[in-house]
Amino acid sequence: MKIGIVGCAGRMGRMLIQTVLETQGCTLGGGTERPGSDALGQDLGALAGVPAVGIAVSGDSLALFGACDAIIDFTGPAATAAHAVLALETATALVVGTTGLDEAQRQALARAARKTVVVQAANMSVGVNLLLGLTRQVASILGDDYDIEVVEMHHRHKVDAPSGTALALGEAAAAGRGVRLEEVSQRGRDGHTGPRGKGDIGFATLRGGDVVGEHTVIFATDGERVELTHKAASRAVFAKGAVRAALWTQQGAPPGLYSMRDVLGFSKSP
- Given pLDDT bands bounded at 50, 70 and 90, which one contains residue 267? low
Task: Characterise 194 by phi-psi region: left (phi > 0), alpha (psi -120 to 50), beta (else).
Answer: left
- Given pLDDT bands bounded at 50, 70 and 90, which one contains residue 76? very high
Where are the alpha helices (H) located in the chain, listed in sequence order? 11-22, 44-47, 61-67, 77-90, 103-112, 126-141, 164-177, 181-184, 236-248, 260-264
> What strands, in cross-sheet order, belong to the sheet with 93-96?
27-32, 2-6, 70-73, 93-96, 117-120, 256-258
Out of 83, 115, 158, 268, the active site residue is 158
Give the single-character DSSP code of 233. S
CA-CA distance, 109 to 120, in Å (whole number)?
A: 8
- Given pLDDT bands bounded at 50, 70 and 90, which one contains residue 123? confident
Q: Are 68 and 3 in contact (CB under 8 A)?
A: yes
CA-CA distance, 52 to 50, in Å (whole number)?
A: 6
Q: pTM of the prediction? A: 0.80
**Choice among 39-48, 107-116, 259-268 with the minimum mean pLDDT:** 259-268
From 87, 45, 44, select the one nearest 68 (Cα to Cα): 87
Give the count of beta carbons closer than 10 Å to the beta carbon of residue 104. Answer: 9
Out of 154, 215, 230, 240, the active site residue is 154
- Given pLDDT bands bounded at 50, 70 and 90, which one contains residue 269? very low
Instruction: Indicate if 154 belongs to the active site.
Output: yes
- Given pLDDT bands bounded at 50, 70 and 90, which one contains residue 190? confident
Over the Cα atoms of the chain, what is R_g?
19
| pLDDT of 13 above 90 | yes
CA-CA distance, 29 to 31, in Å (whole number)?
A: 7
| pLDDT of 100 above 60 | yes
Could you give the C-alpha distances from 54 to 28, 30, 47, 176, 243, in angstroms and in order? Answer: 11, 10, 12, 49, 21
pLDDT cut 90: percent of the chain above it: 90
Instruction: Indicate if 230 belongs to the active site.
Output: no
Helix pair 103-112, 77-90: axis angle to 10 deg: 20
Map out the domains of the chain with their CATH numbers.
2-120+235-264 (3.40.50.720), 126-232 (3.30.360.10)
